Amino acid sequence: MLVYNGAAHNHPPMELKPVVDHDESSPTIERGQWGSKAEFILSCIGLSVGIGNIWRFPFLAYQNGGGAFLLPYVILMLLVGKPMYFMEVAVGQFTSLGPMSMWRCLPIAKGVGAAMVVVSLIVAVYYNVILAYTVFYMAQSFRSVLPWEDCFEWWGADPETCYVRTNNVERCVSVEGNLVREYMNITNVTNGVLIVANNLTAVVPTDVFTSRYDNCTNATQTASQQFWERYVLNITSGIEDLGVIRWDLTLCLLASWVVVFLCLMKGVKSTGKVVYFTATFPYLVLIILLVKGVTLPGAVEGIKYFIIPEWHRLLEIDIWRKAAEQLFYSLGISWGGIIMFGSYNKFSNPVHRDALFVSTMDFITSIIGGIVIFSVLGNMSTELGIDIKDVAKAGQGLAFVAYPEALSRLVIPQLWSFLFFFMLFLLGLDSEFALLETFLTAFYDEFPRSRRYKIPLTFGICLLCFLVGLPCVTQGGQYVLNLMDTYAGGGAVLFIAICEIVGLMWFYGVNRFCADLKLMLGHDIGWYWKASWLVFSPCILGFLFIYGLVKHKPIMYDDIVAYPTWADGIGWLLAMLSMAQIPIWGVFILLKNWKNPRKAFQPERKWGPGDPVEMQLYHAHNGGVTNLGFQGSDSYRY
């Protein structure tokens, strides 16, 4: 007995066949499914919980009001994140199709799926470069002395500008600020020097003032920073000068792509087994680092910077925009990966529970990651007697400069360093699987016969991405990577998300979509989901996207190096490469149906459950195709 739309339907026993491609023009080729529920959950966690949870979320919170940043993040997760995550994984499961072919429900919106595939492919190119950095640092962790512990000449440290932070080494540019903080509340100084710094004043004893300036250093970069910029990157002055290829990084990049290929070559059958390790082991490392971090002296002070709220900053719209971008970046919404993973599920899987669990795990991991990072930075700040804002860095600077420097101060620093970078590699590897598999699944769904050539196709796309990513491992590669990350994975994803939810909920119809889910899950969908899909998500995303366009500023690297105008133009071209898919495919579908344009807005006859048995029952229950207004029906309605 099956329950469709609340009605029970008895039918004779039928032999259930493997999930197959239901394109009548294609041969029946098995599409594949997850080997178990655990494989699906772990793969989704692997996609959502990535490197950004460790280096991007903690610093965004610290930079944007601490605990106050968490409030808009949680609100947006409840109003937008969880509902859209559920929507994507559910539509993938319902159709057993990837992000392009699932738009059989609304053919004119097929470009939304194409845009997701393009974004995933672009991000896959530069994301693996970051994995190459982690491989490089893992290898360096086997040295008897970590190379970023000191200003070693063998890696090219400049003795004039390089210094090692200790509690008896102070930069001259920081002397006055430090003295003001130390003496601002002391009023009984008689023979002193008046100092003004950061809008604060203090009278400092003359001998202390003289001694501090006599013993300070004019060096400008820490050993870890110079190791990153001079040895790892050997960075040039700007994107105009890419320099030469860094062959050591190229080998690391090649190694990363080899690992990705070996894990992906058999599709979800192989990645489903790999994630048992790659999605769970990072949590073991994270827990080890958490226990170690919170027990260090000064850890509490560091954690305070991460969680203490600045409530007045909630009125800043920019914080809400950054929270939304981080939410999409972290969960992987509108990148196509969630739809792709859902498409390999069994039709009756209780997907709503899975969506809630994975999105909650993603948030919890971000919080744990923040505590891990800032507890160690707090320890470093306390031991050196410097403000934590002087050690906290954004993005890659946090992962490859600040945190390694802090780890180098611990007992057995090689062990902690290796564990940290191995954890980052595994976190990123799972996300890389999803990015590549999104493209491959879309390709297989569009050309089902190609599934028999999975290994050569996977090898070909990995090789192509490796070659395209070579500019990112030149001396100026960081500028290229930053450009791709800013434009390919930022506002473009918000635009795709708006088109996605408007297409599904406004054009295909929220009631029709909920009826499909009721068929699949066996019960009605609550008002919370409908309200978010129909009103909250499109309105919030639309406002934040427009605000981002109005407030757009020319791209900078590390807030210091400005990009030339032509580079900014290339960035916009990268963004348009994905966003333009939506109108291009829309026009193509309209031209294809020029005799009857209405077909572009009607579900195709092939729309429905991926399982052929469920597909037959779906159409039979709906009177053939009439009730849902499929192409060829005279009763089409939204």
Residues 276 and 404 in one domain: yes
Per-residue pLDDT reduced to its tens digit, 224-279: 989 999 999 999 999 999 999 999 999 999 999 999 999 888 777 778 888 889 88
Is the predicted pLDDT of residue 216 greater than 70, yes or no?
A: yes
Residue finishing a domain among 216, 239, 271 = 216
Report the pLDDT value the prediction gives residue 108, as an integer from 0 to 100.
96
- 592 contacts 325 by C-beta, under 8 angstroms: no
Give the pLDDT band of residue 627 (cuts 50, 70, 90).
very low
**Residue 126 located in a structural domain:** yes
Do 396 and 536 reside in the same domain of the chain?
A: yes
Query: Counting beta carbons within 10 angstroms of the beta carbon of residue 487, is it exposed (0 to 12), middle (13 to 18) or buried (19 or more)?
Result: buried
Q: In this structure, are 294 and 370 located in the same domain?
A: yes
Residues 188, 323 within the same domain: no
333 near 85, Cβ under 8 Å?
A: yes
- Taking 60 as the threshold, does the pLDDT of residue 332 lie above it? yes
Q: What is the pLDDT of residues 161-195, one digit of tens each?
A: 898 877 667 777 677 777 887 888 887 777 888 88
Annotated binding site for Na(+): 46, 49, 53, 330, 427, 430-431
86 and 206 in a single domain? The answer is no
Query: Are residues 71 and 181 both part of a single domain?
Result: no
Residue 385 has pLDDT above 80, yes or no: no
3-state SS record for 531-550: HHHHHHHHHHHHHHHHHHHH
Burial of 194 from C-beta contacts in 10 A (0-12 / 13-18 / 19+): exposed
- Whether residue 513 has pLDDT greater than 70: yes
User: Do 454 and 361 sit in the same domain of this protein?
Assistant: yes
Asked if residue 620 has pLDDT above 60, the reply is: yes
pLDDT in tens, 11-59: 433 333 344 444 443 433 466 788 888 999 999 998 888 888 888 888 7
Contacts of 462 (CB under 8 A, 6+ apart): 257, 260, 261, 264, 436
pLDDT of residue 121: 94
Separation CA 69–CA 540 (nearest Å): 17
Q: Residue 395 — pLDDT band, cuts 50, 70, 90?
A: low
Same domain, 124 and 20: yes
| Same domain as 136, residue 205 | no
**Does residue 156 form part of some domain?**
no
Q: Identify whether 626 is part of a domain.
A: no
Angle at 278 between CA 291 and CA 33, to 5 degrees: 140
Residue 575 lies in a domain: yes
Q: What is the domain-level CATH number for residue 299?
A: 1.20.1740.10
- Do 370 and 494 have their domain in common? yes
Query: Are 188 and 332 part of one and the same domain?
Result: no
At which of 156, 190, 216 does a domain end? 216
pTM, whole model, 2 decimals? 0.85
- Structural domain contains residue 636: no
Q: For residue 152, tell me if it sits in a domain.
A: no
394 shares its domain with 471:
yes
Among 65-69, 377-381, 540-544, which range has the highest average pLDDT?
Answer: 540-544
470 in a structural domain: yes
Report the number of distinct structural domains present in the chain. Answer: 2
Q: Output the known binding site.
A: 46, 49, 53, 330, 427, 430-431
pLDDT tens for 515-550 read 999 988 888 888 999 999 999 999 999 998 898 888
Task: Out of 155, 189, 216, pick the residue that ends a domain.
Answer: 216
Full domain range(s) for residue 407 = 2-146+228-613
Q: Give how far the C-alpha of residue 338 lies from the chain's centroid of Cα atoms, to the nearest Å.
A: 12
Instruction: Answer whether 43's CB lies under 8 Å from 341's CB.
Output: yes
Q: How many CB atoms lie within 10 A of CB 179?
A: 22
Q: Does 630 map to a domain? A: no
Which residues pair with residue 2 across a beta bridge?
9
Q: Decide: 302 and 468 in contact? Cβ < 8 Å.
A: no
Residue 491 has pLDDT above 80, yes or no: no
